[in-house]
Amino acid sequence: MGIMNFTGTTLKNLFSKPATKLYPSVPQDYKERTRGHVVNDIDTCIFCGMCMRKCPTGAISVDRNTRTWQIDRMNCVQCACCVKNCPKNCLSMGKEYTTPDTEKTIDVLQKILTPEEIAAEEAAKKAQQEKIKAAMEAKKAAEAAKAAEAAKTEEPAKAE
């Protein structure tokens, strides 16, 4: 009985398509929800660093000053934690897996600002500094007024 089963399977396999593919010459069909690799739409990124803080393996580095975002793909475990926590939704999971390599490479993305964007950023910075300065001056004035009021109430008490 066992031999009959075996023969049947052998004959079936002889006349059916192979169960395997000649990957990579035949491309892989990825399922809809395959988590292959992390993709960043760098133009939408605000370099807040949330993805870096949420990554459990420390695969992502973000530098706000140089506007660079980088990922060590060999350290990434495709958990999609960074994707779920990105406030700008600029991260997503691409279906294809990272290409095999003999060396550990780090992918670096840098956002280049237009002159208008640089000017807008500088104006926002300046406005923020002025706001802080005005708040500090208001605080100082309030403290001085409070001290003057206290001195006024102390003077009549001394005269008596």
Measured between alpha carbons, how far is 151 from 144 in angstroms, rounded to an integer?
11
In the complex, the smallest distance separating the C-beta of residue 58 from ligand SF4, rounded to whole angstroms, is 8
Q: Work out how close the CB of 49 gets to ligand SF4 at its nearest, in angstroms, rounded to a whole number.
A: 5
Q: Concatenate the DSSP letters of all residues of 6-68 into one string.
A: HHHHHHHHHTS--SS--TTTSPP---TT---EEEE-TTT-----HHHHH-TT--EEEETTTTE
Q: Are strands 37-40 and 106-110 parallel, antiparallel or unpaired?
A: unpaired
Nearer to ligand SF4, 8 or 94 (CB): 94
Q: Cβ of residue 117: shortest distance to ligand SF4, in angstroms?
A: 15
User: Closest CB to ligand SF4 among 91 and 134?
Assistant: 91
Whole-number Å distance between alpha carbons of 69 and 135 = 34
User: Which residues would be at the binding site for ligand SF4 (CB under 6 A)?
Assistant: 38, 40, 45-51, 54-57, 59-60, 62, 71, 76-82, 86-88, 90-91
Nearer to ligand SF4, 18 or 100 (CB): 100
Q: Which CB atom, from 90 or from 97, has the smaller least distance to ligand SF4?
A: 90
